[in-house]
């Protein structure tokens, strides 16, 4: 075969480029080997890092973190709207800094949309016992309008356990029944990681952790999809969405107070 001078030059260039690539790969491999063969630290300073510095968060006398968005402090419904028709909230605003579900006017939801959050709220069943099972003081915290952490008066009131107080409704039985006596205030502290979607396809499910009166009742549970009363849960692609509180429509008279959220 007869090579022209141009062909030879091109072949040499290709060869050089290949050699460079091999050398580069060898260099990277060598570097990673050096990193791997790093000797075990002998001084405490060798494993100390100083950056990034976490922001300072203080907590006020009501337990509200300084970087929280206060959604309800008892003074007004400014952060809320009717889920039915986006009009003003008609639930009862009480003198003691709480709100109570107004029967059959529908759910309420935040005006803001949220993704992953740390949520705190307090809720109370009415002291008067009215009905049984799922119809006794049923409400619920719907994260992103879809994923319900059940609110129910389950004291001496059994129901299906995947729908009891503290359940992720019809998906996850709580690890414990941690309710205070009927008529007293409960706390929910919820850490929620929003699902992620690649177009219409789920790429990362949602996860929820719940503390009920300080007791861990949901431990990083992988949510199976939008809550269904009838049928299996399914994911539908969505972005940030409001937080919703449920009017179950059977005179539940559930009250809420001290609601704040930290975006994660």
Q: Enter the tokens of residue 204.
A: 């990362």
Q: Which of 106, 140, 166, 242 binds Mg ion (CB under 5 A)?
A: 140
Which range of residues in 64-72, 120-128, 139-147, 177-185 is near Mg ion by CB under 5 A?
Answer: 139-147
Other beta carbons within 10 Å of 138:
24
Separation CA 191–CA 264 (nearest Å): 9
- 68 vs 108 by CB, closer to Mg ion: 108
Least distance (Å) between residue 246 CB and Mg ion: 5
Whether the CB-CB separation of 97 and 73 falls below 8 Å is answered with: yes
Chain centroid to CA 116: how far? 5
Which range of residues in 107-115, 135-143, 186-194, 253-261 is near Mg ion by CB under 5 A?
Answer: 135-143
Least distance (Å) between residue 142 CB and Mg ion: 8
- 64 vs 226 by CB, closer to Mg ion: 226
Other beta carbons within 10 Å of 97:
14
> How would DSSP label each residue in 115-155?
SSEEEEEEEE--SS----GGGSS-EEEEETTTEEEEE---T
Which range of residues in 41-49, 70-78, 192-200, 245-253 is near Mg ion by CB under 5 A?
Answer: 245-253
Question: Which residue's entry shows tokens 């790969």?
Answer: 25
Separation CA 109–CA 93 (nearest Å): 15
- 126 vs 140 by CB, closer to Mg ion: 140
Which range of residues in 4-12, 77-85, 223-231, 239-247 is near Mg ion by CB under 5 A?
Answer: 239-247
Least distance (Å) between residue 162 CB and Mg ion: 12
Q: Which of 109, 138, 145, 186 binds Mg ion (CB under 5 A)?
A: 138
Interacting residue ranges for Mg ion, rule: CB under 5 A: 138, 140, 246
């Amino acid at each position: 075969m007869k090579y022209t001078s141009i062909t030879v030059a091109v072949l040499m260039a290709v060869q050089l480029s290949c050699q460079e690539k091999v050398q580069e790969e060898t260099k990277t491999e060598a570097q990673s080997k050096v990193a791997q063969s790093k000797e075990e630290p002998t001084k405490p300073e060798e494993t100390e890092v100083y950056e990034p510095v976490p922001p300072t968060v203080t907590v006020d006398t009501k337990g509200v973190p300084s970087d929280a968005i206060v959604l309800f402090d008892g003074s007004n419904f400014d952060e809320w709207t009717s889920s039915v028709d986006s009009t003003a909230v008609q639930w009862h605003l009480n003198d003691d800094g709480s709100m109570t579900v107004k029967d059959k006017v529908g759910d309420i939801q935040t005006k803001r949309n949220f993704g992953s959050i740390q949520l705190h709220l307090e809720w109370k069943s009415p002291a008067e016992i009215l009905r049984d099972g799922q119809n006794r003081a049923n409400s619920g915290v719907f994260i992103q309008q879809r994923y319900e952490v059940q609110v129910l008066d389950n004291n001496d009131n059994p129901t299906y356990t995947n729908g009891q107080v503290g359940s992720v409704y019809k998906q996850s039985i709580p690890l414990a029944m941690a309710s205070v006596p009927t008529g007293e205030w409960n706390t929910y502290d919820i850490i929620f990681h929003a699902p992620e979607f690649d177009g219409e396809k789920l790429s990362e499910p949602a996860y929820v952790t719940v503390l009920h009166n300080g007791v861990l009742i949901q431990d990083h549970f992988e949510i199976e999809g939008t809550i269904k009363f009838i049928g299996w849960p399914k994911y539908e692609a969505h972005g940030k969405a409001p937080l919703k509180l449920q009017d179950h429509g059977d005179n539940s008279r559930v009250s809420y107070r001290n609601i704040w959220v930290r975006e994660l």
